[in-house]
Amino acid sequence: MNNIPFNKPYLTGKEAHYIYQAVYSGKISGNGIYTKKCHEFFNDKYGFEQCLLTTSCTDALEMAAILLDIKEGDEVIMPSYTFVSTANAFVLRGAKIIFCDSRIDHPGMDESQIEALITLKTKAIVVVHYDGVACDMDLVMDIANRHNLYVVEDAAQAIDSYYKGRPLGGIGHLAAFSFHETKNIISGEGGMLVVNAPEFAKRAEIIWEKGTNRSAFFRGEVDKYSWVDVGSSFLPSELISAFLYAQLENLDDIQQKRKQHWTQYESELKGGGLTGIQLPQLPPFASNNAHMFYLLCESSQFREGLIDHLKTSGVYAVFHYLSLHKSPFYLNKHDGRELPETDRYSENLVRLPLYYQLEANQITKITQLIIQFCNSYHN
Ligand SMILES: *Cc1c(COP(=O)(O)O)cnc(C)c1O
């Protein structure tokens, strides 16, 4: 039987066609027809008021840090169990990162610990909807409002996912999505900033367009465009938006298929009565967008054994984040607090292959290998 990789990018079939159209439309730089089509899609489907496609989620996070006017000495609270870009975007502006531990039932940030981390220097809270599973946003927004803080949602993994029925990415002041090829909806590299707080609307567009009021100029609102603020080249070329649009047209199909795979994993593993591993748990307020299927192992040795066992049969499962508070770059900048849950996910979490093209018999093969491993490990 063929190897089963951890991820395989899925093509809907229209990507090359739309790229061809973009190429021959005569405008292939940014903010053209396909960029606008993507913005409209998100506006229609999720009610996002202002969307700005970016070349990555990393860029969208960097835009957020500029918009919030993050300066040397400001403190930003975020989970340690996340991708480097969540933190790096704010560190680039001079922020000190105050890392928060993860929940006991989920790798997302433990909302009950946030308030104790707030000081007079705190400027923002960055939540990460790990695995597309919502943080408790009512709680986070309430804390932020009481302390006059901004909330940024790192919604990189959270497309088409909901908190109490509200789309993720539409709740914080700002939100960042990713369309990297490892996410549900892809454009190779790619991302999007969503601006929910109207006070940022004007400046977001300027920062996006290299610090110029070019967008206002093209709408005829000003008679020449000039350098009005800081900014950078955050907008993607039409080639990327064209690719993305082909994916968005098939979002429902992609999501339906991924959820089907996810459910199959869950039911086969639940049926296996496993010891040594724990299946993912969703807080009651969160939806499941089938971004990943992960297992929590009882120890890192168990995880290593399981990954090796799967690899022997050509199945590629992988671990995930190393705690940022223990990273070579941040270790000596961290305030020294222990973050035991973060470390537990860092050591014990393993992600299984999950992509559109997976077949039911491949998932069964994987779940049987896992059940086999669990049974032999404890005997
Ligand atoms: C993937 C990811 C990012 C980075 O996304 P890019 O589009 O690759 O820049 C940031 N944060 C989280 C939580 C991610 O999963």
Range of the domain at 131: 15-249
| Residue 1 pLDDT grade (very low, low, confident, very high; cuts 50, 70, 90) | low
SS3 332: coil
pLDDT at 79: 98
User: Residue 190 and residue 167: Cα distance in Å, rounded?
Assistant: 20
Q: SS3 letters for 238-283?
A: HHHHHHHHHHHCCHHHHHHHHHHHHHHHHHHHHHCCCCCEECCCCC
Task: Give pLDDT tens digits for 166-191.
Answer: 999 999 999 999 999 999 999 999 99
Q: Tell me: do 79 and 180 sit in the same domain.
A: yes
Q: Tell me: do 89 and 226 sit in the same domain.
A: yes
User: Residue 85 and residue 156: Cα distance in Å, rounded?
Assistant: 10
Q: Tell me: do 315 and 193 sit in the same domain.
A: no
| Residue 301: inside a domain | yes
- 27, 183, 224, 257: the active-site residue: 183
pLDDT at 309: 97
**pLDDT value at 273 more than 90:** no
CA of 82 to the centre of ligand 1 (A): 9
**Count of domains in the chain?**
2
User: Residue 63 and residue 209: Cα distance in Å, rounded?
Assistant: 11
User: Residue 116 and residue 198: Cα distance in Å, rounded?
Assistant: 29
| Average pLDDT value for residue range 275-299 | 96
- Please, are residues 109 and 103 in contact by the beta-carbon 8 Å criterion? yes
Which residue puts its alpha carbon closest to atom 14 of ligand 1? 156
Among 157, 174, 318, the mutation site with the greatest number of ligand 1 atoms within 8 A of its Cβ is 157
pLDDT at 378: 79
Q: Tell me: do 220 and 317 sit in the same domain.
A: no
Q: Tell me: do 114 and 261 sit in the same domain.
A: no
Q: Tell me: do 35 and 138 sit in the same domain.
A: yes
Q: Tell me: do 245 and 256 sit in the same domain.
A: no
Q: Tell me: do 200 and 309 sit in the same domain.
A: no
Q: What's phi and psi for 177, nearest 5 deg? A: -110, 160
| Residue 1: inside a domain | no
| Average pLDDT value for residue range 11-21 | 97
- Please, are residues 66 and 230 in contact by the beta-carbon 8 Å criterion? yes
Q: Tell me: do 161 and 62 sit in the same domain.
A: yes
CA of 178, closest atom in ligand 1: 7
Domain boundary among 214, 249, 284: 249
| Strand locations in the chain (E) | 50-54, 75-79, 96-100, 122-128, 150-154, 162-163, 166-167, 174-178, 191-195, 277-278, 293-297, 349-352
| Residue 368: inside a domain | yes
| Residue 6: inside a domain | no
311: annotated active-site residue: no
Mean pLDDT computed over every residue of the chain: 97
| Residue 2 pLDDT grade (very low, low, confident, very high; cuts 50, 70, 90) | confident
| Average pLDDT value for residue range 51-79 | 98
pLDDT at 34: 98
Q: What's phi and psi for 140, nearest 5 deg? A: -65, -45
| Residue 8: inside a domain | no
Domain boundary among 249, 275, 301: 249
| Residue 277: inside a domain | yes
| Residue 323: inside a domain | yes
CATH number of domain containing 69: 3.40.640.10
Q: Tell me: do 351 and 202 sit in the same domain.
A: no
| Residue 355 pLDDT grade (very low, low, confident, very high; cuts 50, 70, 90) | very high
**pLDDT value at 3 more than 80:** yes
Give the CA distances from residue 205 to residues 54, 151, 264, 327, 352, in Å, rounded to whole numbers and listed in that order: 11, 19, 43, 34, 39
Task: Give pLDDT tens digits for 112-152.
Answer: 999 999 999 999 999 999 999 999 999 999 999 999 999 99
Domain boundary among 184, 215, 249: 249
CA of 82, closest atom in ligand 1: 13
| Residue 272: inside a domain | yes
Task: Give pLDDT tens digits for 306-332.
Answer: 999 999 999 999 999 999 999 999 999
Q: Tell me: do 286 and 230 sit in the same domain.
A: no
pLDDT at 124: 98
Our measurement of the distance from residue 252's CA atom to the centroid of its chain's CA atoms, rounded to an integer in Å, reads 19
- Please, are residues 212 and 231 in contact by the beta-carbon 8 Å criterion? yes
pLDDT at 372: 95
CATH number of domain containing 359: 3.90.1150.10
pLDDT at 143: 98
Q: Tell me: do 244 and 288 sit in the same domain.
A: no
User: Residue 119 and residue 122: Cα distance in Å, rounded?
Assistant: 5
Which residue puts its alpha carbon closest to atom 5 of ligand 1? 57
Which residue puts its alpha carbon closest to atom 1 of ligand 1? 156
Our measurement of the distance from residue 85's CA atom to the centroid of its chain's CA atoms, rounded to an integer in Å, reads 10
